[in-house]
């Protein structure tokens, strides 16, 4: 919201966002929050992963491992491209 307001006044602020992906349903969804740095977005993404672990425990969902159906979290860059974030110790394919 702040980014949109400042844009009206000719001030360009780059913002980062989070998105989720429901691997079981195959649907993407937006996660609340606007971040003014990648570091802040990463911190929020890690918090989301901790929440997912409580709601969709690895022992039942397979977690973030290949073949797991735990939801995935991505960071959306200011240019609209995104990358998946995982907890330390997990590896992703692709």
CA distance 52 to 85: 13
Instruction: Please state the pTM of the whole predicted model.
Output: 0.79
How far does CA 69 lie from the centroid of its chain? 16
Is the pLDDT at 94 greater than 90? The verdict is no
CA distance 93 to 73: 14
Mean per-residue pLDDT of the chain: 86
- Residue 4's pLDDT is 65
pLDDT tens digits, residue range 38-83? 999 999 999 999 999 899 988 888 888 888 889 999 999 999 999 9
Token output for 44:
């929020």
- Residue 1's pLDDT is 63
For the residues of 15-75, what is the DSSP string, one character each?
Answer: -EEEEEEETTTTEEEEEEEEESSHHHHHHHHHHHHHHHHHHS-HHHH-TTSTT--S-EEEE
Per-residue confidence band for 92, with pLDDT thresholds at 50, 70 and 90: very low
* Whole-number percent of the chain with pLDDT over 90: 61
Instruction: Report how far apart the first and last C-alpha atoms of the chain are (Å, whole number).
Output: 32
DSSP label at 77?
A: P
């Amino acid at each position: 919201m702040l980014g949109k307001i400042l844009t009206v006044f000719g001030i360009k602020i780059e913002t980062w966002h989070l998105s989720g992906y429901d691997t079981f349903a195959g649907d993407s969804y937006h996660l609340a929050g606007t971040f003014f740095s990648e570091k802040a977005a990463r911190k929020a993404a890690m918090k989301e992963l901790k929440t997912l672990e409580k709601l969709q425990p690895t022992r039942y969902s397979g977690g973030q491992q290949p073949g797991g159906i735990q939801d995935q979290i991505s960071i959306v860059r200011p240019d609209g491209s995104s990358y998946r974030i995982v907890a330390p110790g997990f590896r992703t394919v692709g």
